[in-house]
Amino acid sequence: MLPTNKIISREEAHQIAEQLHEAKQPIVFTNGCFDLLHRGHIELLHFAKEQGKVLFVGLNSDSSVQRLKGTRRPINSQDDRAAILAAIEYVDYVVIFYEDTPFELIAVIQPDVLVKGGDYEPHEIVGRDIVEGRGGKVLVFPLINGFSSTQLLKKLMNNF
């Protein structure tokens, strides 16, 4: 059985984050759909974890993935995606969010470091104002060529 104790609610994330802030433990946040997990995702999570003590991963819900990527997505359910993320050693907590962006979740957690993949320009990163407003930093992890869920799906479709 995969560990599910890392999958927490927004309220639990708030409580844990408050305790971490009081203890001066640096919090890192990243987010995404993580639909078809691939090496690029793992590299991003590893990089993010290296930036602080505790890594929170905001996971788009099924409904938000559909709004962002279309009705044929996600391939894997939010519960399955959350369980897979929770099994990764770099990930401390997974929080599913239902909005189109993680802005509200970032406002609740107040991370010290915000990490996004290289398909975003720094000025496009949601929550940047929150993190930088409290003296934190926003980092862009460079994309790793050849690793993309969308590319994987296209490759799969072309092979059938």
Full pLDDT tens readout for the chain, 160 residues: 666 799 999 999 999 999 999 999 999 999 999 998 888 899 999 999 999 999 999 999 999 999 998 898 899 999 999 999 999 999 999 999 999 999 999 999 999 999 998 877 888 999 999 999 999 999 999 876 655 555 555 555 566 5
Structural domain count, the chain:
1
Query: Does residue 40 lie in a domain region?
Result: yes
Residue 59, Cβ neighbours under 10 Å: how many? Answer: 23
Give the domain range for residue 48.
Answer: 10-158
- Residue 122: per-residue pLDDT: 84
At position 37, the amino acid (one-letter code) is L
Q: CA 34: distance to chain centroid?
A: 8
Tell me if residue 9 falls in helix, strand or coil: coil
Query: Does residue 66 lie in a domain region?
Result: yes
Residue 111, Cβ neighbours under 10 Å: how many? Answer: 30
**What are the contacts of 102-105 at 24+ separation with CB within 8 A?**
102/29, 102/31, 102/58, 102/126, 102/127, 103/127, 103/130, 104/10, 105/10, 105/13, 105/29, 105/31, 105/58
- Residue 152: per-residue pLDDT: 55
Tokens of 117: 């993949």
Sequence-ordered alpha helix ranges (H) in 51-142: 62-69, 78-86, 103-109, 128-133
CATH (domain of 75): 3.40.50.620
Beta bridge partners of 140: 116
Query: Does residue 3 lie in a domain region?
Result: no
- Residue 38: per-residue pLDDT: 87
- Residue 121: per-residue pLDDT: 83
pTM above 0.85, yes or no: yes
Query: Does residue 4 lie in a domain region?
Result: no
Query: Does residue 75 lie in a domain region?
Result: yes
Query: Does residue 131 lie in a domain region?
Result: yes
Residues written for the chain: 160
Query: Does residue 5 lie in a domain region?
Result: no
Tokens of 33: 């759909």
Query: Does residue 106 lie in a domain region?
Result: yes
